Structures are given as C-alpha cells and as structure tokens.
Amino acid sequence: MESIGIPTRVQTAFRMSEVAEPYIRRRAVRHLEKGRVVIFAAGTGNPFFTTDTAAALRCAEINAEVVLKATNVDGVYDDDPRRNPNARLHDTLTYHEVTSKDLSVMDMTAITLCQENNIPVVVFNLTKPGNISKAIKGERVGTLIGGTWNSTVAMT
C-alpha cells in the first residue's frame, strides 16, 4: 500500500518492534483520523481466540463500519463449493442465518461480536483482481452479512 502512496501502519498484540507497532486503541484511532490505513496483525495475543474474533474485536474497539473478510472463495455458500458444484452463493445473510445454519464463515464468537455491535461483514475472494478495491469502496462483492447492499458499507 505504501508503495502506491497510501500511508499505512501495522499494529500487533505481540511485540514485534522491527515490523509493527504495538496495538494501542487510541493510537489506532489517531492513525485513522490522520487518514492512514491501519492493519491489525497477529490476532489478539490471547489463546483460544481466532483471527476472525480478533478482527471483530478490533473493529468494535475502533468503531469501524465493516469487517472485510478476504478468503479464497467468492463469498458464503450454502455448501462447500469445492466439493459441491451446485453450491449456491448467498448475496446477503443475516447474523441469525449464519448462526442457525451453522455456516462456517467465521467462528461464532466473531459473528456474535459483529451482531452485538452492528458491524456488517463482507466476505469476498481475495484472489480475484479488483475485489479488494470493490470491498473498500462498498461495491457489491461476495456476501454481505448483517446489512443491505443499498446502505453504505465502505470504510471512511
């Protein structure tokens, strides 16, 4: 990102001073206020918490508008598309649909944290050119959980 002129900071719960600064909520918010992109790396620093939960937690802590979950499939399907060629891609889902259908999008702690904090989740394919840009701009890409496509989900 920095190579194309986007000011960026990486923060991590683990001490890695050579590659990232420590995660401090106030510092992260300040970077965002200055127009920088903040990348949260290495989870929460606590055992038993996935990186999905870390993403949901950090989003809640900084009052982010959306979680962008980049993955290796086009979004959330009703079945595994690698095993079932007839699997159907969902355009939108509610948090309740994710939990009640036990869709393996994110762990239940992460999806519940997003639901409790009204944070929509966009699940999209990281490997398709242009998808990251679409997700950041709030354009339709992948599956939207907990929101509607006609509302603004782009990060500001």
pLDDT tens digit string along 69-91?
999 999 999 998 889 999 999 99
CATH code for position 149: 3.40.1160.10
The verdict on residue 53 lying in a domain is no
- Is residue 51 within 8 A of residue 113, CB to CB? The reply is no
pTM of the complete model? 0.87
- Which residue range forms the structural domain that includes residue 96? 64-156
The verdict on residue 35 lying in a domain is no
The verdict on residue 14 lying in a domain is no
Number of structural domains found in the chain: 1
How far apart are the C-alpha atoms of 39 and 56, rounded to whole Å? Answer: 13
The verdict on residue 124 lying in a domain is yes
Average pLDDT over residues 105-121: 95
How far apart are the C-alpha atoms of 20 and 14, rounded to whole Å? Answer: 9
pLDDT tens digit string along 130-156?
999 999 888 999 999 998 876 545 443
8-state DSSP, 3: G
